[in-house]
Structure 1
Amino acid sequence: MSTARIVVIGGTAAGPKAASRAKRLNEEAEVTLLQKAPELSMASCGYPYYVAGEVKGRDMLLATPAGVVRDPAFFAGAKGITAKVSTEVMAIDRKAKTVAWKRVDTGETGHLPYDKLIVCTGSRPKVPPLPGRELDGVTTLTSLEDADGLRALAASSKGGKAVIVGGGLIGIETCEALIEAGMDVTVVEALPQILSFLDPELALLVQKHATSKGAKIITGVGISAINGQDGKVSGVTLADGRELPCGLVVMAIGVAPNTALAKDAGLALGPTGGIVTDEYMRTSDPDIYAAGDCVEIKNRITNAPMLAPFGDLANLEGRVAGENAVLGDTATFPGTIGSGICKVFDFAAASSGLSERKAREAGFDVVTAINASPDKPGFMGAKPVVSKLIADAKTGRILGFACVGLGNVNRQAAEMAMAILGGLTVDDVAMADLPYAPPFSLAIDHSIATAHVLQNKMRGLMRGEPSTVVKSWLDNGNKPFLLDVRGQKEFDEMRLGLGEKLVPLGQLRKRLGEMPADKHAPIVTYCKVSMRGYETQRVLEANGYDNVTVMEGGLVAWPFQLEK
């Protein structure tokens, strides 16, 4: 192969992957990696766990699995790549095919020629123009420098109060980190719910769990100002006038693509604000590729452009860009379905594909089902998980899946991500052949059971609604006949406490006379997970009751207060 000069801008995730792929496929290529920060290949998704102290040392966020720190010497020796840190690229001259750089530490400047350029400039935190945002004690968590500072603050502020602005992935993970570090934490989210990638039914379950661990969560209101005294944060003022005292404010309302360099160079930007690339990760300039948080990519379900600032996708995109920079346009990146997962104390929350809200916004006629079950048999130490499956009502094609709980959420989300990627239908998944043994799963795995619930609904064998809908009926005065079909012992331990009638399923056929006299009256049936609730619906319908609804997921999926 001929010698090629490959310059990569950005050294966090996409950049190192692109540089390594290019050099690996063309040993004769001259590959140079330019990084503004003093570190390379930072595991930025690990920052919250570093802040909490779970990750003991910062070098662990920079090291290979063998424990070797990925510094310039590592890249030179192991990879054959020239890596320059503390080096900011100031401009791209597309005509001359050079980049202008400046050393952050010394002020030294220079120009570097390229044959192919790969732009991986990442993202920048969104910080609204709030009064007080410049105060000492206001920070973000998007860089290793941020993480160092926040770790030090958390360690020195045990028992102190912190406010996190934003209840998305970064905000909730930071909330856990600061609570684990001993701080009193309040999350303020302007949207009606935390974790907007989830539908409300599951987001409320996560919120319920986080509050049980000590988090305070305020939704539906933003902040109007950050207050200070002597140049330091003293609290925040909410948009509704409430004031929250605190000594630390973490801005976590998301990130925006860092595209100033690309824009100044005349590269095309898309409607999302990210750099436009084709399937080869090539920009509007055929000699320039781009990858990572700075680009917009295609949603594989809707075909619409979107931003997806996730480390796994950055690595995949960087791999494609690096290969194509040296071999020509041979590799392709097809886009994303939007999979993600986060840890919330000992809970997990994951999703893949479209939420119900997003699916409806995209124009799909959708059907959904919620299922709650253990992740494996009780005799193997089962833990509960709750999932929601979204499908196209006409074709049965699976559009999205989300899962939360104490159990093995990752397995369920990974299974359904592959189903979505494969264009599978509810019927396909309902008969999926998955590995089974009691230490790992139920005989009918949770995700398959969720497909069974939706299959029953689509065939008219079950009528179900999520707990949030049932709660809205109760709140609006349209009170149905609530029928709890668990056993007496279960009922004594935990119940809704909303005037429900207890009739254990095993006694139902003998106690039909205790049901409403009007067989058209609304009845809501449920149990712990609503398997017995579904069986109750079938019995009642067989006896002429025609307005019976199963509360999907039962009490396990009830995100509101229970009476104990």
Structure 2
Amino acid sequence: MSEGRRIVVIGGSAAGPKAAARARRVDQHARVTIIQREPDLSMASCGYPYYVGGFFEDRNKLLCTPTGVVRDPVFFMNTKGIEARTKTEAVSIDRDRRVVRCRDLESGEEDEVPYDKLVIATGASPVMPPVPGTDLEGITTLQSMRDADLLRRIRDERKIKNAVVVGGGLIGVETCEALELAGIHITVVEMLPQILMFLDWELAKLLENHMKAKGAHVITENPVSAFLGEEGKLTGVKLANGTELPCELAVVAAGVRPNVGLAGDAGLDVGSAAGGIVVNGEMQTSDPDIYAAGDCVEIPNLLTGRSVHAPYGDLANLQGRVVGTNAAGDEHDTFPGTIQTGVCKVFDYAAGATGLSERSAREEGFDVETVVHAEPDKPGFMGAKLIVMKMVAEKGSGRLLGVQCIGPGDVSKRIAIGAMALHGKLTVDDLTVADLPYAPPFSPAVDNIIACAQTLQNKMAGRLRGIPAREVKGRVDAGEDLFILDVRGADEYEQMRLGIGEVLVPLGALRKRLDELPQDRAKEIICYCKISLRGYEAARLLEAHGWTDVKVMEGGIMAWPFAREK
């Protein structure tokens, strides 16, 4: 094989191996080398919580191809003709001489690897709270295979009884499930007002309620102030309000920070806002012969135009493919940016979001309309499971800005549809007539995301005056004189009620019992049912009979994030 261009990739987790493999496929004559500090390659790091949780036994499944072959240096050389140097640290980059100085972590020997094109895929490092005691034995993260091996061993030994997870983001809630399933009592500590900040509060609260029902304890707005220990070992976690939580294990999942030291030392541009390596659409750094991809870069948010740090495994692979194409040839593939789509599993629920939440959209200056919609994910006779969805759109234009979803139903499918709608810059009106696949095993005849869009369309057109559950609860707590109408059946009411002073008049009897409602037609009435479909029908009926201030509590009882009276 004749010698082609020399492509060196620093980093062997996701973006790096993808870039190397793509470069090889584009140019069979290129000399491709991966420099990897860790002993493993192509780690499926998003699978760590599920390995820890015992969803599968063989750790090599995190390192395998779909056919079961471990992606080790021998695999990369024999299958792809790529030299993969593991346990090797890239110490520095000399841009003038176009060499990477490397150190063998076992022997300590150093050498130089020349390049024509260089790819930096150095990933990100976990953020540790700036508090005393972080060096105690018993504190870990879930950022590496070593961390996963440690936590899996702890799970299998079943000696530890109490653990604290610091951080309520994606990794935090997934780790909570993994350890709770091992019989460890878990407390999740989140410094912010809610878990999973990509959700708005009301959906995050529903998910928190589910976690608590599964045995986990969740504390918000009370950050860790110190890790406590004796004889160098962790014994507890102290919170800002003085509470001390006894524990033998603490898993820190408080976010990650881009690893930009190598790039910064080489004089490459690093962003001041998101803190990642600055790249253009072709994933080139400020040096056109050096590319960067994965968790070490910052990229544009396609909805706001702002640079963001988006450490997602799927994005790392997409970026790696673009980098491999461009580094290996004369093509100019581009990666446009992100709408920040994510999904996670939390016990029996899934939680996902794409685009902007209501909170983030308002912070960005958008004038928005929102709706919360609850509905089963398929017909009842096919084993339906609940989905609670929130949709955010721009007023006036009706342009979709974001979709959030939680519940035991098929959340991922609806988030995927929402993501493609965002990429296509669709409006709410577009979604109301979307041609999606239907069969009873998979969805209702009108899919959840279409029904949610139709509900939002009604709201934007003035046919539906929705009111969020959080506002209803706040007004009840404030002692406002509200007439709250529950239009479910009597049997449903006996099984569960909200206990907020509601009056039961089943929808089927409402036309005959209008005299039981306030006769002041200007009196505010708030209607709801299980998911508020009947609540909407009741509201339309009351409006037709002269009531002028009728609202529907969005999502009904199933989207009520507060305590209920059973």
**Aligned-partner Cα distance in 2 for 1:328–1:473:** 63
Q: Does 1:239 align with 2:240?
A: yes
Q: Name the CA shift for 1:158/1:345 in 2 (closer, same or farther; >3 Å).
A: farther
1:127-146 Cα deviation digits (max 9, x unpaired): 02211110000111100001
1:92 aligned counterpart, secondary structure: strand
Matched residue, 1:92: 93
Matched residue, 2:64: 63
Instruction: Using the TM superposition, give the Cα deviation of residue 479 of structure 1 relative to its aligned residue in structure 2, in angstroms.
Output: 4.1
**Aligned-partner Cα distance in 1 for 2:482–2:155:** 49
Q: Does 1:139 align with 2:147?
A: no
Matched residue, 1:416: 418
Matched residue, 2:561: 559
1:296-347 Cα deviation digits (max 9, x unpaired): 0011111110010000000000100111001135100010111000000110
The equivalent position to 1:388 in structure 2, one of 387, 390, 403, is: 390
How many positions carry a matched residue from both structures?
564
- Spell out the pairing of 1:96-495 with structure 2 (5 A cutoff): 96-158=97-159, 160-270=161-271, 271-495=273-497
2:511 aligned counterpart, secondary structure: helix
- 1:125 aligned partner, one-letter code: P
1:503-541 Cα deviation digits (max 9, x unpaired): 000111111111113222221100000000001111111
**Aligned-partner Cα distance in 2 for 1:105–1:542:** 80
Instruction: Using the TM superposition, give the Cα deviation of residue 148 of structure 1 relative to its aligned residue in structure 2, in angstroms.
Output: 0.7
**Aligned-partner Cα distance in 2 for 1:105–1:482:** 71
Instruction: Using the TM superposition, give the Cα deviation of residue 2 of structure 1 relative to its aligned residue in structure 2, in angstroms.
Output: 6.9
Instruction: Using the TM superposition, give the Cα deviation of residue 85 of structure 1 relative to its aligned residue in structure 2, in angstroms.
Output: 0.2
The equivalent position to 1:527 in structure 2, one of 520, 526, 529, is: 529
Instruction: Using the TM superposition, give the Cα deviation of residue 443 of structure 1 relative to its aligned residue in structure 2, in angstroms.
Output: 0.4
2:163 aligned counterpart, secondary structure: strand
**Aligned-partner Cα distance in 1 for 2:289–2:189:** 44
**Aligned-partner Cα distance in 2 for 1:157–1:128:** 27
2:406 aligned counterpart, secondary structure: strand
1:143-166 Cα deviation digits (max 9, x unpaired): 000111111123334560001110
Contact 2:129-2:224 within 8 A present in 1 as well: no
Contact 2:36-2:85 within 8 A present in 1 as well: yes
**Aligned-partner Cα distance in 1 for 2:209–2:239:** 22
1:102 aligned counterpart, secondary structure: strand
- 1:518 aligned partner, one-letter code: D
Which aligned runs of 4 or more in structure 1 are off by greater than 3 angstroms? none
Q: Which runs of 5+ in 2 are unaligned?
A: none
1:510 aligned counterpart, secondary structure: coil
Contact 2:350-2:408 within 8 A present in 1 as well: yes
Contact 2:167-2:189 within 8 A present in 1 as well: yes
Instruction: Using the TM superposition, give the Cα deviation of residue 74 of structure 1 relative to its aligned residue in structure 2, in angstroms.
Output: 0.3
Matched residue, 1:73: 74
1:79-117 Cα deviation digits (max 9, x unpaired): 110000000000000000000000112212100000000
Instruction: Tell me the TM-score normalized by structure 1.
Output: 0.99
**Aligned-partner Cα distance in 1 for 2:30–2:101:** 21
Contact 1:280-1:329 within 8 A present in 2 as well: no
- 2:222 aligned partner, one-letter code: V
Instruction: Using the TM superposition, give the Cα deviation of residue 76 of structure 1 relative to its aligned residue in structure 2, in angstroms.
Output: 0.3
The equivalent position to 1:501 in structure 2, one of 500, 503, 508, is: 503
Contact 1:320-1:332 within 8 A present in 2 as well: yes
**Aligned-partner Cα distance in 1 for 2:246–2:298:** 39
Contact 1:298-1:305 within 8 A present in 2 as well: yes
- 2:44 aligned partner, one-letter code: A
Instruction: Using the TM superposition, give the Cα deviation of residue 542 of structure 1 relative to its aligned residue in structure 2, in angstroms.
Output: 1.2
Instruction: Using the TM superposition, give the Cα deviation of residue 475 of structure 1 relative to its aligned residue in structure 2, in angstroms.
Output: 1.5
**Aligned-partner Cα distance in 1 for 2:159–2:141:** 19
Q: Which deviates more from structure 2 when the two are superposed, residues 472-481 or residues 426-435?
A: 472-481
Q: Name the CA shift for 1:169/1:510 in 2 (closer, same or farther; >3 Å).
A: same
**Aligned-partner Cα distance in 2 for 1:421–1:299:** 12
Contact 2:371-2:452 within 8 A present in 1 as well: yes
1:133 aligned counterpart, secondary structure: coil
Contact 1:165-1:249 within 8 A present in 2 as well: yes
Contact 1:158-1:182 within 8 A present in 2 as well: no
2:446 aligned counterpart, secondary structure: coil
1:230-289 Cα deviation digits (max 9, x unpaired): 111110111001111101011111001000000000000112110000000000001000
**Aligned-partner Cα distance in 1 for 2:335–2:150:** 36
Contact 2:487-2:507 within 8 A present in 1 as well: yes
Contact 1:398-1:420 within 8 A present in 2 as well: yes
**Aligned-partner Cα distance in 2 for 1:36–1:383:** 44
Q: Which deviates more from structure 2 when the two are superposed, residues 461-470 or residues 444-453?
A: 461-470
1:389-422 Cα deviation digits (max 9, x unpaired): 0001010000000110011111111111100100
Instruction: Using the TM superposition, give the Cα deviation of residue 193 of structure 1 relative to its aligned residue in structure 2, in angstroms.
Output: 0.4
- 2:426 aligned partner, one-letter code: L
**Aligned-partner Cα distance in 1 for 2:129–2:267:** 27
Contact 2:20-2:32 within 8 A present in 1 as well: yes
Contact 1:158-1:181 within 8 A present in 2 as well: no
**Aligned-partner Cα distance in 2 for 1:423–1:430:** 14
Q: Does 1:8 align with 2:9?
A: yes
**Aligned-partner Cα distance in 2 for 1:181–1:2:** 53
Matched residue, 2:44: 43
Kindly, what percent of the aligned residue pairs are identical? Answer: 58
- 1:39 aligned partner, one-letter code: D
**Aligned-partner Cα distance in 1 for 2:323–2:315:** 12
- 1:354 aligned partner, one-letter code: L
**Aligned-partner Cα distance in 1 for 2:352–2:413:** 10
Q: Which deviates more from structure 2 when the two are superposed, residues 322-331 or residues 27-36?
A: 322-331
Contact 2:530-2:558 within 8 A present in 1 as well: yes
Matched residue, 1:30: 31
Instruction: Using the TM superposition, give the Cα deviation of residue 170 of structure 1 relative to its aligned residue in structure 2, in angstroms.
Output: 0.6
**Aligned-partner Cα distance in 1 for 2:261–2:155:** 33
1:491-514 Cα deviation digits (max 9, x unpaired): 011110222100000111111111
Contact 1:201-1:559 within 8 A present in 2 as well: yes
1:367-389 Cα deviation digits (max 9, x unpaired): 00111000000000100100000
1:363 aligned counterpart, secondary structure: coil
2:287 aligned counterpart, secondary structure: coil
Q: Which runs of 5+ in 1 are unaligned?
A: none
2:389 aligned counterpart, secondary structure: strand
**Aligned-partner Cα distance in 1 for 2:3–2:104:** 30
- What do you get for the CA RMSD once the two structures are aligned? 1.0
- 2:8 aligned partner, one-letter code: V
**Aligned-partner Cα distance in 1 for 2:356–2:427:** 15
